[in-house]
Amino acid sequence: MTVLLKKIKEALVSVLPVAAIVCLLNLTPLVHFTGLEIGVFLVSAVFLILGIGLFSMGADVAMTPMGEYAGVGLTKSKKLLLLISVCFLMGLLITVAEPDLTVLANQVKDVLSSTLLIICVGVGVGLFLALSVLKMVFHKPLPSMLLYFYMILFALAAFVLASENGEFLPMAFDSGGVTTGPITVPFIMALGVGIAASIGGKDVSENSFGLIAMCSVGPILAVMLLGTTADGEIAYHVPDYTIENGLGTALFEKILHTFKEVGIALGLIVVFFLILQITVLKLPRRKLQQIAVGIVYTFLGLVIFLTAVSVGFMPIGYKLGTELANLHPAVLVISGLLLGMVVVLAEPAVHVLNKQVEDITSGSVSKTSMMVALSLGVGISLALSMLRIIFDFSILYYVIPGYLLSLGLSFFVPGIYTAIAFDSGGVASGPLTSGFILPLAIGACCVLQGEGKVLADGFGIVAMVAMTPLITIQFLGFRAVVHKKVRDRIAMKRILSADDEQIIRFM
């Protein structure tokens, strides 16, 4: 109970800034929410805190140990084909069950079969998870692999942009963020830690990261390929974001729907783990009981979290976007910057990543420095996204130079920072980004550019949230390299100075 209270306290610190900004904006002439809207939002914020606390507890007790045990067990079996096959199936099935992917698929259901889209994205994640494991087994450098696949991605993006289905681009880049959701991230990250620990080597810490980074590439390629084969005009209709739409019987339906989605996603992970337990792991009953309790915490936390986001945060995000867009463009950009800096604090998987980074690096990369870098990155990404909505230009003007810069930095900073940075991009673009920030962008786009431009301008904001941490966290690494060189020079000067004094004394 003490640990749970600590987790809830941490969640309170994370969610409080978001709630405070919304309430403060409501007290200004800039934004006006009704009493019902602000009341539902505040109640949802309370449940959001509870949900994050329970999820964080469950991730520590169940999801992270399950991933580590699976990684260690599969690697120690010394059967590479088994390891790759299981990782592919795991990536495929978990992605198919990810709730955020279903939301994405529904945006293009008039053009593409939702089932086809989900399966193709799942195959993309499965393939790149398998490639990530091969990278770890054969100790291949992450920057080189990322550079190779992103060059392919940019070439394909140019082809899609030139086609009549260029509106698929923002959605394709968004898919890389939504598929690495709160259910899959803790498990996949821990899987990487377990595999890296079993393989060993001098680069074990660096090798522990990078799976999320690689898994984010597959969905982008899959959606782009589907975009080149789609026929007909893409139809997008803005959902009903009113608060009233999530109350009464609709609230009960939302809870049941969330129960089902989270249950399927966690169920697939549990089934996989039980199969591994029977065939490979053979863990004692005590550890299995701990994991079972952790799964219950994870399940309840995610149901509460996702329901709170759907009922209270999505409507407020959409209305906030519409009202800010009716003001001066500078207000929209500055508001995006501030909201981005605090929203990332409330992403549940971010706390899992930061704790794992601090543990694996033995504190050399602290949770505080990680959070500052993520906060700045997400804030900048939202400000830039608001500018794109205002001036109506392609997302490629951001993602191509942004990824080239981040890939370029990867050759000048320690490998551990590059691996952490690229994982952070997928983790930062979690359910609160798609459930609060994306509706905000859609609302702003409806006012400034019209509903017909939502796919081209409103979407893409999740991709921006996933991209900017790659740069800010690698700048942490660049700063560390510079500081180390400065310290080495100072130390060398002191040694030389001491030697000179000894020579003078001797003479």
Task: Map 427-441 to HEC letters.
Answer: HHCCHHHHHHHHHHH
CB neighbour class for 137 (10 Å; exposed up to 12, middle 13-18, buried from 19):
middle
Q: How many whole angstroms separate alpha carbon 222 and alpha carbon 347?
A: 26
Q: Using CA atoms, how far apart are residues 433 and 439, in angstroms rounded to an integer?
A: 9
Residue with tokens 């082809």: 159
For residue 160, what are the CA distances in angstroms to 166, 171, 436? 5, 12, 28
- Residue 212's pLDDT is 82
| Angle subtended at Cα 76 by Cα 74 and Cα 80, rounded to the nearest 5 degrees | 60
Structure tokens belonging to residue 422: 């690229």
- The angle subtended at Cα 343 by Cα 342 and Cα 349, nearest 5°, is 120
Among 381, 482, 486, smallest CA distance to 424 is for 381
Rounded to a whole number, what is the largest CA-CA distance in the chain? 94
Give residue 230's pLDDT. Answer: 65
Of 444, 327, 312, the C-alpha closest to 38 is 312
**Do the Cβ atoms of 47 and 291 come closer than 8 Å?**
no
What phi-psi label fits residue 460: left (phi over 0), alpha (psi between -120 and 50 degrees) or beta? left
Concatenate the DSSP letters of all residues of 12-43 into one string: HHHHHHHHHHHHHHHTSTT----HHHHHHHHH
Which of 122, 472, 183, 194 has the alpha carbon at shortest distance from 306?
Answer: 183
- Contact (Cβ atoms closer than 8 angstroms) between residue 469 and residue 378: yes
pLDDT (0 to 100) of residue 506 = 52
Closest CA to 318 of 18, 11, 12, 33: 33
What pLDDT is attached to residue 264? 83
- Per-residue pLDDT tens digits of the chain, which is 507 residues long: 688 888 888 788 778 888 888 999 899 888 889 999 999 999 999 998 898 889 888 888 888 888 888 888 888 877 888 889 888 988 887 777 666 676 666 655 655 667 777 788 888 889 999 998 898 888 888 888 888 888 888 888 888 887 777 777 887 888 777 777 666 777 787 888 888 888 866 667 677 777 888 888 888 888 888 777 766 566 667 778 888 887 888 888 889 988 888 888 788 888 888 988 888 888 999 999 999 999 999 899 889 988 898 899 989 999 999 999 998 899 999 999 998 888 887 776 677 677 767 777 777 777 788 888 888 888 999 999 999 999 998 888 998 899 889 888 888 888 778 888 887 877 777 777 777 888 899 999 999 998 888 888 888 888 888 888 888 888 888 877 787 788 878 877 777 666 555 655 555
Query: Tokens in use for 470?
Result: 């790659």
- Amino acid letter, residue 445: C
The number of CA neighbours under 13 Å toward the Cβ of 179 is 38
Nearest CA to 176 out of 423, 479, 444 is that of 423
Contacts of 189 (CB under 8 A, 6+ apart): 64, 67, 209, 211, 212, 352, 353, 356, 423
Q: What is the pLDDT of residue 128?
A: 92
2 CB-near residues (< 8 Å, 6+ apart): none
In terms of phi and psi (left: phi > 0; alpha: psi -120 to 50; beta: otherwise), the region of 239 is beta
CA distances from 443 to 138, 200, 223, 324, 465 (A): 47, 49, 24, 9, 18
| Amino acid making up residue 342 | V
| Domains contained in the chain, number | 1
Which pTM value belongs to this model? 0.83
Q: Where are the alpha helices (DSSP H) in 309-395?
A: 314-325, 329-343, 348-360, 367-391
Instruction: Note whether 351 and 14 are within 8 A (CB).
Output: yes
Decide: 272 and 90 in contact? Cβ < 8 Å.
Answer: yes
DSSP 226-247: HHHH--S----------GGGGS
Which residue range(s) make up the domain with 95? 2-506
Residue 443's pLDDT is: 93
Q: Name the nearest CA neighbour of 414 among 473, 354, 491, 372.
A: 473
Please provide the distance, in angstroms rounded to a whole number, between the alpha carbons at the two ends of the chain.
Answer: 71
Residue 66 confidence (pLDDT): 87
Nearest to 212 by CA among 7, 475, 473, 408: 473
Give a three-class secondary structure readout of 445-481: HHHHCCHHHHHHHHCCHHHHHHHHHHHHHHHHHHHHH
